Amino acid sequence: MQETELLDIVNEAGETIGVASRGEVHGNNSLLHRVVHALVFDATGNLILQKRSTTKDVAPGKWDTSVGGHVDHGETIEVALSREMREELGIVPDKQPQLMYSYIHRNSYESELVHTYRYTHTGTIDFNRDEIDEVRGWSLQEVRTNLNNGLFSDNFEDEFRRYMEFKDI
């Protein structure tokens, strides 16, 4: 029997105000929950993206943020980030990833308080083949050229635009 994934429900300041299951937050966009993203770059400056498994319930088969996942109930953002980096790409950070920004992402089925980090990885990647079909590096120009053509998840396209604004500040 699979254990129910519990997530903290938070207010816009990130303070915990309740608890709900993953299924509940993915069907009710009034339940704001915390998410971590890592934009992982390789040694040449390419952005590493993952192609989501076609079995995923959200954005199957779409190219997505390097690392992304829920912050579990009672878990810190930093612990969640390390866990997701290890689980998805097999990366154990040798230095603390840099927090770039946080924002609220809302769509028709969920609301996320996203904490986005940047990390440069020079080692190998051993991705989780149950969740990810493929991983590869993309130049920022290559991503820019392919926006709005159905290749990327909506969440990643939102994330990428925010990153481009952030890096140009």
pLDDT digit string (tens) for 5-63?
999 999 999 999 999 999 999 999 999 999 999 999 999 999 999 999 999 888 999 99
Alpha-carbon gap, residue 25 to 37, rounded angstroms: 18
Could you report the per-residue pLDDT of 49-99, keeping only the tens digit for each? 999 999 988 899 999 999 999 999 999 999 999 999 999 999 999 999 999
In a domain, 10, yes or no: no
Structural domain boundaries, residue 157: 33-105+113-167
pTM, 2 dp: 0.93
On the question of pLDDT at 146 being above 60, the answer is yes
The total number of residues written for the chain in this structure? 169
Quick check: is 134 in a domain? yes
Q: State the Cα–Cα distance between residues 58 and 73, nearest whole angstrom.
A: 20
How many structural domains are present in the chain? 1
Is residue 31 within 8 A of residue 20, CB to CB? The reply is yes
| Residue 82 one-letter amino acid | S
- CATH number, position 85: 3.90.79.10
Q: Tell whether 61 is covered by a domain.
A: yes
Q: Under 8 Å CB-to-CB from 165, ≥6 apart: which residues?
A: none
Within a domain: residue 21?
no
Question: Which residues on adjacent β-strands are paired with residue 65?
Answer: none
Whether the CA torsion 137, 63, 72, 88 is positive or negative: it is negative
